A = this chain, B = another copy of it.
Amino acid sequence: MSPIPSTTDTLTIREMCEAFAVTPRTLRFYEAKELLFPIRKGTARLFTKQDRARLLLILRGKRFGFSLEDIRQLLDMYDRDGSNEAQLQRTYDLGCDRLAQMEAQRAELDEAIADLKIQLAEGAASLAAFRRAAAE
């Protein structure tokens, strides 16, 4: 057999990369940043079902423009909701803060979009004027 086709339900780094279209460097980076926790068989990494679930969430978070640090905190919220009350409360508060940031961001984005639309309308008017002049 060639490149070790994951015998169990764990994936090698290469399989993981292909499954999620990321580079090995990225996976090692995420591990160093404590976003992923692959099993270490000797020096090699084996990515579990949990790691796959986490990576899915990481990539989604990135598409939304969150920083990896934000994502790490959110992931903590996702898995440790069975801990003690104080911890859960802290996590919940963190999530609320994050939500507020996101809504503020959306407000700014909406404003920028509105402004850009105005600019585009003016541009369209200028273009129309040009064309009327040329059509004379």
Contacts and interface: CB of A to CB of B under 8 A. Distances in A.
Interface of A is mostly: helix
A78 interface: yes
Interface string A102-116: 110110111111011
B85 A99 contact: no
A134 interface: yes
Interface in A94-136: 95-96, 98-99, 102-103, 105-106, 108-113, 115-117, 119-120, 122-124, 126-127, 130-131, 134
Given A106-B109, A113-B103, A119-B77, A127 B85 contact: yes
A70 to B, nearest CB: 11
Interface of A: 60-61, 63-66, 74, 77-78, 81, 85, 88-89, 91-92, 95-96, 98-99, 102-103, 105-106, 108-113, 115-117, 119-120, 122-124, 126-127, 130-131, 134
Given A64-B115, A109-B109, 8 more contacts: A65-B109, A74-B116, A81-B123, A85-B130, A88-B126, A95-B123, A99-B116, A106-B113
8 contacts: A60-B119, A64-B108, A64-B116, A74-B119, A77-B119, A88-B126, A89-B127, A91-B123
